[in-house]
Amino acid sequence: MAEIISFGSIASARRRAREREATEACVQILEANLQLALHLFHGASEGERALRARQLRQIAELLEYVTRCM
């Protein structure tokens, strides 16, 4: 027997797949940005380190939030 699958469930599955792909791409971008921020922190002058540390924390918190939502 054939199984009838509603169009809505197919559309929802495709949408979830696209959202998952977008989220994974976002995580990769955030990870690269975190690496860059860490590199910039190590090369920063004494006066700039507080700014770079705050930037690191913000990117790390955003990455944590996005990975929790996956």
pLDDT band at 8 (very low <50, low <70, confident <90, very high): confident
Quote the radius of gyration of the chain (alpha carbons, Å): 19
Whole-number average pLDDT of the chain: 93
Q: Is the full-model pTM beyond 0.75? A: yes
CA gap 51, 41 in Å, rounded: 9
Q: What pLDDT score does 1 carry? A: 66
Segment 13-33 shows an average pLDDT of 95
In terms of Cα–Cα distance, which of 50, 55, 63, 26 is closest to 38? 55
Q: Which residue has the higher pLDDT, 1 or 25?
A: 25
Rounded-to-integer distance, Cα 5 and Cα 16, Å: 17
Residue 56, both tokens: 């690191």
